Each structure stands twice: as structure tokens, then as C-alpha cells.
A = this chain, B = another copy of it.
Amino acid sequence: MSSYNPSNFIQQISIDCTIFGYAEGSLKVLVTHLNFNGDFKALPAGFVYQDESLDEAAYRILVERTGLKDIYLEQFHTFGGKERSHKDFLNKLISLNPEILPEDTILRQETEWFTKRFISVGYYALVDINKVRPTTSTIDKYIGWYDVDELPPLIFDHNEQVKRAQTTLRFFLDEKLLGFNLLPETFTMKELKNVYETVYDRPFRRNNFQKKMLDLNVLERLDKKFTGAANKAPYLYRFKKVP
């Protein structure tokens, strides 16, 4: 943590990113194991430089952890509860990692800012899970995907943040054509339907779903995909390039 110079950051503001990916029929979230003693898991997070916008900071945090650029990323809520499970977390953190708050006054100044109350701006992102190389930054011990329905306890209110991000995702999946960000460049209608069924946790009719998606007029039909299976080959689609 000492690589952070707190004076470069806006105090008491953090950015938490809920990064969704899709694989094997389920929605995943990227979670980091913090690089402290003790079993602390969290959403990828970071701070905002004085000369950086919130959006830029969120994007930087995302790129650091995933290596991906040009990703759909959107702020969905700012969490400003006065407690946010902060004290429980801090007590445990400090008792297991006494070096965070050393007796030495000068060293202490360097790390003390981290123990204050934080306001968190929540962003969510949708990524193609196959393109991501989860990358640890200085504050991560390990970083990896968890099924959204089987998340471990996360620090602060991060579990609640994921729930709210999921609600927002459901609200906007259609409108913002987000489904495509969760898939590879080309995909079949069935794969797209699977994404929708996973996000909304309910089945869609094959034919009606297809009609709806094609009516959106954003899909481009490509060649057929021959899978070797004993059935009609499905078409591949891709998201239309904007001219």
C-alpha cells in the first residue's frame, strides 16, 4: 500500500467495479482477494486522482485488472451509507495486519487515510470472459471469477453492490444492447438467448426471441456454423458495425 501517495488521490472516495462475464450458462463476477493477512475478498476497486474524472478512474481500474480496452462501463449508483460495515472490516484488518497503522507518526500518516470512511461510486462493466486476463495489482493477492449466485462474503457493502448492479443490468440489457459485450465477436442466436436467460434467470421462447432480436436491427447474419452435430446448422451473427 505504501506505493500510494494519498495526497494524489481525492480523499474518502473510492470506485468499486462490478465486472460481469458470461461462461457456461452462468453470470460471473470478477472478485479480488486482497493482499493482506486474513481472508478479505472484494470487488476490484481503486481511488480517483486529483486530475482524473470518475469515468477515467473507473476505466483505469478496469484496464488494470482485465487488460481489456474499449469496454462498456457505466456508473450505476453511489454508495454513501455512514457505516458500510467499515469498522468491522477495519478492526479485523488492523488486528491481522498491525503494520498498517504503525506507531511511527510519519509512516502512520501515509496509511491512515485508508482507514477513514469512504464513499463508493459503483460502476458495472460487461466483458467477454475469454478475452480477460485477470491481472493482480499491488493490492490483490489473487483475482478470479465467481458465479454471481455463489459469491463469497465480500468486504463493506460489496455484496449489496453486486445485487444492485445486477438489477441495473436487467433494466438496461435490451436498451443498451449489452448482451453482445458478454459474447465473442460472432455467436449463434442460441448463445445470445443463453445470455439473456442467464441475466434474467428465466426462459425465452426460441422463435419469439429470435424475432425480437432481429427486429432490433443491430445484428448482421454471417455464414452458417457447422458444428458436426446431426441437425440444421445455425447461422452466426455479429453486432453490426456502425458506419
Instruction: Give me the interface of A with B, judged by CB distance under 8 Å.
Output: 10-13, 48, 50-57, 75, 77-78, 80-82, 117, 119, 121
Contact = CB atoms under 8 A, between A and B. Distances in A.
Contact of A75 (B10, B77, B82, B117): B77
- Provide the main secondary structure of the chain A interface: mixed
Nearest to A12: B10
Given A10-B11, A75-B78, 14 more contacts: A10-B117, A11-B12, A12-B13, A48-B80, A50-B117, A51-B82, A53-B80, A54-B78, A54-B81, A54-B119, A75-B77, A78-B121, A80-B121, A119-B121
Q: How many copies does the complex hold?
A: 2
Question: 4 closest pairs, A vs B, by CB?
Answer: A54-B80, A78-B78, A53-B82, A11-B11
Contacts of A48: 80, 119
A190 B117 CA distance: 49
B53 A13 contact: no
Which of A55, A57, A82 has the largest count of B CB atoms less than 10 A from its CB? A82
A52 B51 CA distance: 27
B52 A82 contact: yes
B80 A119 contact: no
Contacts of A117: 10, 50
A80 B54 CA distance: 5
A10 B51 contact: no
A92 B5 CA distance: 32
A15 B124 CA distance: 22
Contacts of A77: 75
A44 to B, nearest CB: 18
11 contacts: A10-B11, A10-B117, A11-B11, A11-B12, A13-B119, A50-B117, A53-B80, A54-B78, A55-B80, A56-B82, A78-B121
